[in-house]
Structure 1
Amino acid sequence: MSEEVKKVESAATGGVETQHMVPPCPNGFLYTVQSGDTMYFIAQRFGVSLEALIAANPQVADPNLIYPGQVLCIPAKPSPASCPNGFIYIVQPGDTLNGIASMFGTTVEQILAANPQITNPNLIYPGQRICIPIMPPMHHRRHCFMMHPTHHCPGAMGMGMIDIEKRELLVVARDLPDPRHFGMDHIALMVRYHEMEKFKVVEMMPMAHGMMMCHHMMDGAMGGDPVFLIGAARRFPFFFGPLFLGVVFPIII
């Protein structure tokens, strides 16, 4: 056999051996080529670019020629650069997103929202870095506010609280003028939760020591800062006269 033929056979044998090499894959995972696979379809399946897949497998001399049983490195997709509202978790063998979500008290949807690089929630691999969002504890949301007097009642005072979760409103006021001074017969609270809606009118009930109170259950969701006014009213139907108290912006606690 001539030296030229030996060199050609040696080169061909070396190419086949190179194709059979198991490539290093420090930041990804190994995949065994199945019948009908192409580099393009494998890249699509695992959500990586074709260029990144080819670059991670330099042992593949011709990207258009792969065969069943060949081992390829699937490179890791970009990990989150930061996780300001949580922490980075490194996926362990056997992990699933459901299991990780249960482990850390969050949901798969929250994890996916924090990790846009995960395109297939059923496909995560050991060594992958994912951001675990920390779910803030749920606190009751309450708005407290102070009501200020108008020139109709310079000595009056008022305050109130809204419990968002219970949809409950409580308002207390003191030193309000007698409604009969204004030709009315009741004191009422005007409530508006949305900018364009009409005011709801709720009667204030007398308490001891010149105080009046209104307890009201909200029948709709709040929109922005609500508006509260207290004034003299005539019943059936309610008709408002001069307003006694205005309102300042609520303070969330």
Structure 2
Amino acid sequence: MLIDLTGRVAVVTGAGNGIGREIVTTLAREGVLTVSVDLSLDGLAATAAELDAIGTAHREFACDIRDAQQIQSIVDAVDKEFGRIDILVNNAGVTGIGPIDGFDEQAWDVIHDVNLKGTFLFCRAVLPVMKRRRSGRIINAASFAALVPIYGSAAYASSKAAVAHFTRALAGEVGPWDITANSYAPGMIPTGLNGFDDLPRAEQARLLDTLSLRRWGAKADIAHLVCFLASDAAGYITGTLIDISGGKLASQVPRLAHDAAAAEGEYDFEQAIT
């Protein structure tokens, strides 16, 4: 199956680093004209340098996605120059950890404003452009925490669960224009935000024991899923939350399968964290 995205225009938020940059560069290699949005000018410059090396057309915009006016100005500029927005990836997000009874109210508001409100504002802004062309792909970053929260993640998990449910509601509204809306729930993908692969080896092993595929995910895993959801091959998929966590929910105790494989000489526990 050939995924052909040549000539399409994609807006990706949080594109200045990490998974966002990986999504943008992967889309660019598929022939997409990319529009990178981020709060960090330095991050955008680094992303632009990678895109220059790929050789595809690209644009970069600094933006606080909590600001509807900034978002609208970007959408208007892209629409004026290219006359289309085919793909929107709401990747930008922030996190915060702490128990509910001591969680800071301002931090709660920031997490929900960026993760949920920012997603809503960008979707609202691009919909007229997509409806005019009667097509579009909206892809929103949720989190495995939206499925099963961890201790101290009430603010982050609730914001991402809301993104997943918002996406379902969105899909139900935009179907008449052949626009799809889906979200994805990454598991443990090492980034600068979480530092999974910098943890002590014993702590890494404890976390990896919760995965059926006992290894860290890669940013490319997320980018490849986004490319598929953005393609014509995914044209009949909408309103879903895709679990991309390495099988955290596949088994009650994933470690048991790896213990059995190790006993048969078929698995090396060190390979996942080397």
Q: Shorter-chain TM-score category? A: under 0.3
Structure with the larger RCO, 1 or 2 (CA within 8 Å, 6+ apart): 2
Structure with more strand by fraction: 1
Greater gyration radius: 1
